Structure 1
Amino acid sequence: MRVSVNFARFSAVALAAFVACVVPMPGASTLQAQDTRLAAEAQFRDWLTQTVWPDAQKQGVSRETFERNVAAIGLDWDLPELQPPGQAAPPDDQRQAEFQSPGRYFAQAQLASLAKSGRDLLQRWASVLDGIERRYGVPREIIVAIWGRESQFGRVTARHQALRVLATQAFMGRRRALYYPELLAALVILEEDHFSGETLLSSWAGAMGQPQLLPSKFLRYAVDADADGRRDVWHSVPDSLASIANYLREHGWKPDLRWGFEASLPQAVSCTLEGPRQGRPMLEWLRLGPTPAAGGTSPEWNGNATAFLVMPAGRLGPAFLVSENFYVLKQYNESDLYALFIGHLADRMRGASAFTGSWQPIDTLRRGQIQALQERLKSQGYDVGKVDGLVGFATRTAIGQWQSKSGRDETCFPDAALVQALR
């Protein structure tokens, strides 16, 4: 498709300005790096006009909106997980060189601070939350907990321009296929919601506003709760809170069903019973022996309702019995630890105490070591889920099954000895 004169002229000016800003440095490698960047910038301009514009037009984006917001953007070379044209892909463990203890996710100082601020904000926004709770059926503490976790209740302001982030990642990021639809969705937001490109601020990963929604999620779940004609999740607290609630409801949140509770798990109950594939009625779980941990919150759902065992650190950390709403929380962020953090923070706002069980020290393992362990277990017929170097529930249960079969104590969590034994 022919590029408009204005856009072509702007592209040339922008590229010339980029060249003028390059400070010459001695050394062949530096000059080569500069040449690589200049070549990538030129390819980026061609890609915007020849690939992105036709697809954006199919999504209903006007030429005026596209040129106004895209013509001036350049690549953001400071973002992680980039793979410039002609270069090898970065390793998957670039941003997670070592697998850390799950217990670090639950820093008590942070939880106490968020809980205190959350209780204050529950009072401040009580009338707004009353209406949101009635409409969506999601407890206000859960909504405010997500708000606090994602953006410190709106206090942390993203500094990245979402369009630049998404365009860079879609053009030369390791996960191009994920980011390209998000780039198009951001352009649709600019067209339909009449925001400026400067308004769409995001994290380095493109998550926007106080609820940290990716553009496609914004289009589907963002709500204009204050009725000002805009779904402004950057500046409007009512819009942000209602958008979180709408997201959870649309993903199946069940009103009047608590997320779960910390449980005391007898040694006779195997840690290999963990995970979303092994749900059973709460009464059946209680007959097996798990009980609410001392000081914990007892279940508030029907004994015939399905519950699931969750042990993010295996026997090296607390255990939990959770409802289906726990897995709705995981739809917001695909992480057991995240869902536990939100549920626990919501409970802390209601006055609950810290976890009773302790997070024990774990061996520091590199992601590559975990992936090799997964491949070895898979070759022996164990279901480890995705071979990705992350210790998810399937990998934890596979480890426990291998330990049991090998006559070892079940911990359902990897350590250095296990890595050595499975080489």
Structure 2
Amino acid sequence: MRTLLLSALVLSTSTAWAQSADSFQSCLANLRAPARAAGVSDAAFARHTQGLAPDMSVIEKLDNQPEFRTPIWDYMAGLVDEERVAQGRALLAQHRETLAKVEARFGVDPATVVAVWGVESNFGQSFGSYPLTQALGTLSCFGRRQAYFRGEFYATLRILQAGDIAPERLVGSWAGAFGHTQFMPSTFERLAVDFDGDGKRDLMDSTTDALASTANFLQKAGWKTDLPWGYEVKLPAGFSTAGEGRRTKRTMSEWAARGLRRVDGSPLPASGSAGLMALAGPTGPAFLVTRNFDAVYSYNAAESYGLAIAHLSDRLRGAGPFATPWPTDDPGLSRAERRELQGLLLMRGHDIGAIDGMLGDKSRAAIRAEQTRLGFEATGRAGQKLLKALRG
């Protein structure tokens, strides 16, 4: 019976894959004419889609974006930790001359550019491994937002057609972002620059092009030189954040009149405007954010993401952690602590795969098992309480 069930499962899976492959090839054939209208030659389309097979794993990831599902204190703990701050400061020094030239041309300070680099690809260490033609081709034919992904698929084919990046090097995230600072293909076409002068715009193998292209993105998004992204502020007792937000800009004088001060006790600037952002409510860290924060936000359209870059840029300049703690009794883990946790899970006999600080399905299953054993709620979330319990 077990053999029959296994055979039936294999047959069902094989049939589903074959149906997806057939549907994919039919979809690609239908995309040839729109691609031609979008500037992709028939020869380029044929060359870069020949033998292309769908990767259905990207469809599973489509609705699982961590910026919208992870508690803000976990998200920030993993993205802005001492390890990333130390590496970022070293790279600021290493690329000082290039970053100075980038700032002179685009008006964006080095710390902000390097912070984007750190958050997007861990300073070039995590590009992603999905071939863009396969990932974007799949997303163009299956799942939601097909019209959007088709535009990115055509842009990918135009990039390959132009010869800026070799086909075997054009890999990135499941959603199509690629390079040191993870541009989408259409963003690459609009904003990537050849800053090293070699005749190609290369975000994969030219750090210089990537840093300059990032600064160009932020400048075009409205970045203003010498304007801070914002300030951590202290809210007066009983202050209501209802109706406030990043987009609801008020003058600094109005915020001051309502009792807001910077967390170090200093007054707010006399001029300018900002919106109040409190991602964990009025008891957590609160920030007045300017139009420069909006420029960073436009990179990925998530306030948690924008705050990670903004905070990392401050840390790279020498600032410390936020003064106000997150409103939780179980703070998040840094990447070093996540690796330690994985090691402890491995010692207890759990199959968690590689110890890499990335808490995937296997790590979360092991976490749930240990939480159950310890009498914790089995959420699969890793926090300081679980780490301390396992250390003991």
TM-score by length of 2: 0.78
Deviation (angstroms), 1:26? 4.3
1:114 corresponds in structure 2 to: 84
Deviation (angstroms), 1:100? 3.7
Deviation (angstroms), 1:64? 2.2
Which 10-residue stretch deviates more, 191-200 or 71-80? 191-200
1:326 corresponds in structure 2 to: 293
AA partner of residue 336 (structure 1): E
Q: How does 1:334-353 map to 2 (within 5 A)?
A: 334-353=301-320
Q: Does structure 1 residue 271 correspond to structure 2 residue 241?
A: yes
- Give, in whole Å, the separation in 1 of the partners of 2:41 and 2:166: 14
Which 10-residue stretch deviates more, 276-285 or 198-207? 276-285
- Does structure 2 retain, via aligned residues, the 8 Å contact 1:159–1:203? yes
Q: Does structure 1 residue 54 correspond to structure 2 residue 33?
A: yes
- Give, in whole Å, the separation in 2 of the partners of 1:54 and 1:159: 29
- Give, in whole Å, the separation in 1 of the partners of 2:65 and 2:97: 41
Q: Does structure 1 residue 288 correspond to structure 2 residue 258?
A: yes
Q: How does 1:228-243 map to 2 (within 5 A)?
A: 228-243=198-213
Partner SS, residue 274 of structure 1: coil
- Does structure 1 retain, via aligned residues, the 8 Å contact 2:120–2:180? yes
- Give, in whole Å, the separation in 1 of the partners of 2:75 and 2:227: 25
- Give, in whole Å, the separation in 2 of the partners of 1:95 and 1:332: 15
- Does structure 2 retain, via aligned residues, the 8 Å contact 1:25–1:31? no
Partner SS, residue 107 of structure 1: helix
Q: Does structure 1 residue 354 correspond to structure 2 residue 321?
A: yes
Identity %: 37
- Does structure 1 retain, via aligned residues, the 8 Å contact 2:246–2:289? no
Partner SS, residue 272 of structure 1: coil
Q: Does structure 1 residue 66 correspond to structure 2 residue 45?
A: yes
- Does structure 1 retain, via aligned residues, the 8 Å contact 2:240–2:282? no
Is the alpha carbon distance of 1:313 and 1:147 closer, same or farther for their aligned partners in structure 2, counting shifts above 3 Å?
same
AA partner of residue 60 (structure 1): G
Q: How does 1:17-56 map to 2 (within 5 A)?
A: 26-49=6-29, 51-56=30-35
Partner SS, residue 261 of structure 1: strand
2:142 corresponds in structure 1 to: 172
AA partner of residue 60 (structure 2): E
Partner SS, residue 79 of structure 1: helix
User: What is the alpha-carbon root mean square deviation over aligned residues?
Assistant: 2.5
Partner SS, residue 166 of structure 2: coil
From 109, 114, 119, give the equivalent of 1:144. 114
1:375 corresponds in structure 2 to: none
- Does structure 1 retain, via aligned residues, the 8 Å contact 2:111–2:313? yes
- Give, in whole Å, the separation in 1 of the partners of 2:82 and 2:315: 8
Gaps of at least 5 residues in structure 2 are: 331-392
Q: Render the CA deviation track for 1:56-115: whole Å, top value 9, x for unaligned.
A: 111222222222211121111332438xxxxxxx9x5x667x944211122178422222
- Give, in whole Å, the separation in 2 of the partners of 1:182 and 1:349: 33
- Does structure 2 retain, via aligned residues, the 8 Å contact 1:158–1:203? yes
Q: Render the CA deviation track for 1:99-132: whole Å, top value 9, x for unaligned.
A: 4421112217842222211111111111111111
Partner SS, residue 168 of structure 2: coil
Deviation (angstroms), 1:276? 3.4
Q: Does structure 1 residue 306 correspond to structure 2 residue 273?
A: yes
Deviation (angstroms), 1:298? 7.1
Q: Render the CA deviation track for 1:268-291: whole Å, top value 9, x for unaligned.
A: 432115213421111221121111
AA partner of residue 48 (structure 1): L
Aligned residue pairs, count: 327
- Does structure 2 retain, via aligned residues, the 8 Å contact 1:101–1:361? no
- Give, in whole Å, the separation in 2 of the partners of 1:348 and 1:359: 17
AA partner of residue 326 (structure 2): W
From 221, 242, 259, give the equivalent of 2:229. 259
1:213 corresponds in structure 2 to: 183
From 197, 200, 203, give the equivalent of 1:227. 197
- Does structure 2 retain, via aligned residues, the 8 Å contact 1:206–1:214? yes
Is the alpha carbon distance of 1:33 and 1:79 closer, same or farther for their aligned partners in structure 2, counting shifts above 3 Å?
same
AA partner of residue 113 (structure 1): E
Which 10-residue stretch deviates more, 303-312 or 30-39? 30-39
- Give, in whole Å, the separation in 2 of the partners of 1:25 and 1:55: 44
Q: Does structure 1 residue 81 correspond to structure 2 residue 60?
A: yes
1:317 corresponds in structure 2 to: 284
- Does structure 1 retain, via aligned residues, the 8 Å contact 2:235–2:282? no
Q: Render the CA deviation track for 1:347-399: whole Å, top value 9, x for unaligned.
A: 11111011011111299xxxxxxxxxxxxxxxxxxxxxxxxxxxxxxxxxxxx
Is the alpha carbon distance of 1:185 and 1:109 closer, same or farther for their aligned partners in structure 2, counting shifts above 3 Å?
closer
TM-score by length of 1: 0.72
Which 10-residue stretch deviates more, 99-108 or 113-122? 99-108
- Give, in whole Å, the separation in 2 of the partners of 1:109 and 1:194: 30
Deviation (angstroms), 1:304? 2.7
